[in-house]
Amino acid sequence: MKRVLITGAGQGIGAAIARRLQRDGGVELVLVGRRLAPLQALADELGAQAQACDVTDAAAVQALFEAVGPVDILINNAGQAESAPLTRTSDALWRQMLDVNLTGSFLCLRAALPAMQAAGWGRIVNVASTAAQRGYAYVAAYCAAKHGLLGLTRAAALELAKTGITVNAVCPGYTETELLAASIANVMAKTGRSEEQARADFARSNPQGRLIQPEEVAETVAWLCSEGAASITGQAISISGGEVMA
């Protein structure tokens, strides 16, 4: 039985990953997020454990891992996206994007590693974004944080290459989640476009002309967590319909 800890697990991609890994069996799921209520509903559905934690708080993260015990698989999914032109990107917004999207993943990775190293096996998957692989206008802080997350992934993968621990990133394009729904609503409010028009704008960046589904991301994560992916480490796998080709 492998213990899997998923941050940002209450909805969207995190919830899809939890359902996908539970389907394979042989896992004990620990669902983590800032709000306990949505986590608990999913935990009840999956027979999992729910833990409230702010991953940007180093002391809270350390307490979480002490309470949960050794983790075999870590999915760093917690994230947040806010937009602003460069000249209106405040210090607070800049710090918030780095704290949630980069520092939180670092803190969880650091806390999970001792037990993985002792066991000689582990899987770490960082949920990044195509924003880790290219730039987007008006989200400089978010892009910087996700680029940083990809750098962390590659550095950790090399450091841990001989330990039985793999570290990879998945990089979804625009994905049908609550986060995207909020972005669509923001576009509608600021531009007067209809929901259909706003959705089409987001889908246009994908050469397949569609939005990514959370379950597609979850399938890739499940593979990276498997024994069959033991030689895959330090990779940034773009799930974007061809928007990014490496």
**Active site residue ranges:** 142
Where are any strands of DSSP class E within the chain?
2-7, 27-33, 49-52, 73-76, 122-127, 165-172, 236-239
**Cα distances (angstroms) measured from residue 44 to each of 37, 49, 59:** 11, 8, 27
Beta carbons of 125 and 225 less than 8 angstroms apart: yes
Beta carbons of 216 and 240 less than 8 angstroms apart: no
Q: Crossing angle for the helix pair 36-46 and 12-24, nearest 10 degrees? A: 20
CA distance 243 to 35: 33
